[in-house]
Amino acid sequence: MGRLFGTDGVRGLANADLTAELALDLAVAAAHVLGDVGAFGGHEGRPVAVVGRDPRASGEFLEAAVVAGLASAGVDVWRVGVLPTPAVAYLTAALDADLGVVLSASHNPMPDNGIKLLARGGHKLADDVEDAIEARMREAWSRPTGAGVGRVVDHAEGAVLYVEHLLSTVPHPLDGLRVVVDGANGAASSVGPEALRRAGAEVIEIHTEPDGLNINDGCGSTHLEDLRAAVLEHGADAGVAFDGDADRCLAVDAGGAVIDGDHVLVILGIAMRERGVLVDDTVVATVMANLGFKLAAQESALAVIETGVGDRYVLEAMREGGFVLGGEQSGHVILADHATTGDGVLTALHLLSRVAQTGRPLAELASIVQKLPQVLINVKGVDKSRVATEPALLAAVADAEAELGRTGRVLLRSSGTEPVVRVMVEAATAEQAQAVAERLAGVVSATLAL
């Protein structure tokens, strides 16, 4: 059996892979482990957990199972209802809770769901803590009885506290901007438009009517077609789209062009440096950031620190260096002065604040990042363990890099779960990127075949 925890909590097909029984057992084990490592202790009485979810139908029974598990282990629960993942993280810290739990599968289709655990302060759990939780699932334990069991209270003020927090961070009001908001029929369907309106924008909503079944269904940050159409139809200055749990945000400009995380990091990096709040003038990004992003950062005198793919690696690098801005091309942007994780609504507010503050269209602000054509080929059925040592492959990569020069890049990555090597090539033209990628994919297939 593989590790229960993935890169972002425990996920799977709800009621098949991710069952109520599993959710209950996981909650009990989390209460025991986090108590052992001293996470509990911010309260004189019982430990407290904040539990929130996205609108998926399966979240209703999974939330009930998690709450039951925590309360049975003697943990008091504040149930905050449907809120974004970053809102639960914020409330875990703001309410001085000992633990946060989010029921969400983020941008995944509706039938999936997930359980994400947060430590005190709203931070993600370290790998060793996750391993300890998994090891203690279904262990024998002494159950509290009578007054020793946890109590469950609905915390209706959570959304209000979160929106007030977001508004307190905005550098410049959004007055005069017309913005289309795609809520992905997800967790930010209410708080996202509300925050933007209260910041001063005129807001046009699409896909903000979740029914438990329509989350991420042809909408949100993974499906920008409706957002583009709405921006053009309404003559909006910009559009923003969240994913199901609103920890990421993508945008489109007034002409419908996509503004992704690479654009956002440079735009916000310049703005934060001007305000004197960008630590060491440094932005943290992953190795998958487009070379155009890196060239734009250099031209803007922004230093870039690269990490592996995944927001947890971005967060680790930010914490180690004390940096305050980082993220991924997918729109998962972390503003560490205001959040412990990626926050789509926060990102949208700060991006649009820059537009309002400068008086320049979003397209003009984003034009500093000239994306290079990128081709990604997955080569299957190969020995991925030899990707960094096979002489013939290393020689082929060196030849490709010499051919591409400064206006191109090669990246070979091994899949974490399959016998697959991912060949990514960026080049000055799409034709050159495709040709080099295909050539390298052929070398990978020939030299690493199983």
* pLDDT value, residue 259: 98
Residue from 58, 104, 106, 330 carrying the catalytic annotation: 106
CATH of 374-447, one of 3.10.450.50, 3.30.310.50, 2.60.40.180, 3.40.190.290: 3.30.310.50
pLDDT digits (tens, 9 = 90+) for 215-226: 999 999 999 999
Averaged pLDDT, 50-59: 98
* pLDDT value, residue 255: 97
Rg (CA), the chain: 23
pLDDT of 380 strictly over 80 = yes
CB 256 within 8 A of CB 232: yes
pLDDT of 1 strictly over 60 = no
Average pLDDT taken over every residue of the chain: 94
Least confident range from 49-58, 186-195, 415-424: namely 415-424
The CATH 3.30.310.50 domain(s) of the chain lie at 374-447
Give percent of the chain above pLDDT 70.
96
pLDDT of 38 strictly over 80 = no
Nearest in space to 267 (alpha carbons), one of 190, 183, 325, 345? 325
pLDDT of 300 strictly over 70 = yes
Averaged pLDDT, 39-54: 76
pLDDT of 80 strictly over 90 = yes
| H-assigned helices in 37-82 | 57-72
The fold of the 161-366 domain, in CATH, is: Alpha-D-Glucose-1,6-Bisphosphate; Chain A, domain 3 (3.40.120)
* pLDDT value, residue 417: 65
Nearest in space to 174 (alpha carbons), one of 353, 351, 345, 346? 353
408 pLDDT tier (thresholds 50, 70, 90): very high
In 3-state terms the chain splits into helix, strand, coil percentages (rounded to 5) of 40, 20, 35
pLDDT digits (tens, 9 = 90+) for 415-442: 766 788 999 999 999 999 999 999 999 9
* pLDDT value, residue 252: 98
According to DSSP, the β-strands at 258-259 and 282-286 are unpaired
The three-point CA angle 331-307-375 to 5° equals 65
407 pLDDT tier (thresholds 50, 70, 90): confident
Here the tokens at position 198 are 């209260």
* pLDDT value, residue 42: 47
The fold of the 10-155 domain, in CATH, is: Alpha-D-Glucose-1,6-Bisphosphate; Chain A, domain 3 (3.40.120)
* pLDDT value, residue 419: 85
Cα(235)–Cα(171) distance, integer angstroms:
25
pLDDT digits (tens, 9 = 90+) for 90-148: 999 999 999 999 999 999 999 999 999 999 999 988 888 899 999 999 889 999 999 99
Here the tokens at position 197 are 């309106």
| H-assigned helices in 199-260 | 225-234
Is 189 among the residues known to form the active site?
no
The CATH 3.40.120.10 domain(s) of the chain lie at 10-155, 161-366
